[in-house]
A and B are shown apart, each in its own frame.
Chain A
Amino acid sequence: MAEQTLNIPQIIVFIAVTVLIVRWFLKPSGAGQPSSASNRAARLNPAQIDHLVQMFPQLDRRTVAWNLNRTGGNAQAITETLLAGGTLQQPPTSFQIPPSRTATPSAGQRQAPRQPAKPAQPDLITRYNLASKLGQAAESSAVETPKGKAWSQDKNERQANLQRRREEMILAARRKLEEKAKAEQKSA
């Protein structure tokens, strides 16, 4: 009786050890496959996709990504297939591609070149605070122009001269463009 009660913890330890050993042996074959496959998907390099799409604009990104995934990132093999006139395997519908590095159009769209989205820059009038000078510019700049070219010994004056030259350049361009637009409107 005493012997049996002593054996129960031993049996539990034995079972636990057996389970661990069995799991350890099963792991490489059972769990190994999916984990290496997901590694491959993660290694998929968006730059590589972009590069291939640039070389072969007729392809869409998903197809390229799928085939890169399939070949384990072997861009060379894909290039060779395509150059030899072969076609690429179509990706299954469940396949998701990693986002593009540059804002290239996604899946369905063809590679219509367009300006990449980026934060809008302020226009020059805003940038140089010229809104208040838009109206009056015409007269004042005409009078002052000759002075602008001189080099002053005074640092602040130099700075002011430079700023004035910048402003004049922008305002003059804007005036010209406005006049041109008006002329076009009239002739249209």
Chain B
Amino acid sequence: MTSQASKRLFKEYRDLSSNPPDGITAGPVTEDDMFVWEALIQGPEDTPFEGGVFPAELKFPKDYPLAPPKMKFLVEMWHPNVYPNGEVCISILHPPGDDPHHYEQASERWSPIQSVEKILISVMSMLAEPNDESPANVDAARMWREKRVEYERIVRDNVRKSLGL
């Protein structure tokens, strides 16, 4: 099982390296352990995240790709779908059976035909378009809804801070 999972992860790593999607760099922290990756995601244009680069850690379970990885941002993120501890909450990271609220389509959720690349692309579009149906950060969700200007200011400040400016 484990070797199958690493094989699959290795293949995904190769595909992502030879043909990286725009604004995404991802790979294992070290090839000795294929189950911990680090990804960089560029902030999408025309959003307050524009210009930022956001590092995140991906932790894969031993039975990948049957179960999805967990993803956690390693910089401060102010976003309705990111928990204050950095953990990302979007449907593609949820296994099909695990939906207590029944608002997610089965097709949006994790399945072995998804991939790291798809996760990262989904997260990128999540940055641009938060889903406030199921906020992971209630305060950020409320601010996004009610005080967009203030929300965008915090996001821009974080972008600057994360780049050491």
Tell me whether A173 and B138 are in contact (CB under 8 A).
no
8 Å CB contacts to A: which residues of B3-39? Answer: 14, 17-20, 25, 27, 30-31, 38
B106 contacts the other chain (Cβ, under 8 Å)?
Answer: no
B17 touching A173 by the CB < 8 A rule? no
Query: Does A169 lie within 8 Å of B164, measured CB to CB?
Result: no
Identify which of residues 132-165 in chain B touch chain A, using a CB-to-CB cut-off of 8 Å.
138-140, 142-143, 147, 154, 159-165
Interface size class of A (residues with CB under 8 A): 20 to 34
Among B49-57, B61-69, B107-115, B118-126, which stretch is in contact with chain A? B49-57
Chain B interface size band reads 35 or more
B10 CB to nearest chain A CB (Å): 10
Known: A155-B31, A173-B163. 19 other contacts (CB 8 A): A54-B138, A102-B84, A113-B147, A114-B139, A118-B84, A118-B85, A123-B164, A125-B163, A151-B18, A158-B27, A158-B31, A159-B30, A159-B31, A166-B38, A169-B42, A170-B163, A173-B51, A177-B159, A178-B165
Chain A positions within 8 Å of B, measured between CB atoms, are 54, 102, 113-116, 118, 120-121, 123-127, 149-151, 155, 158-159, 161-162, 165-166, 169-170, 173-174, 176-178, 180-181
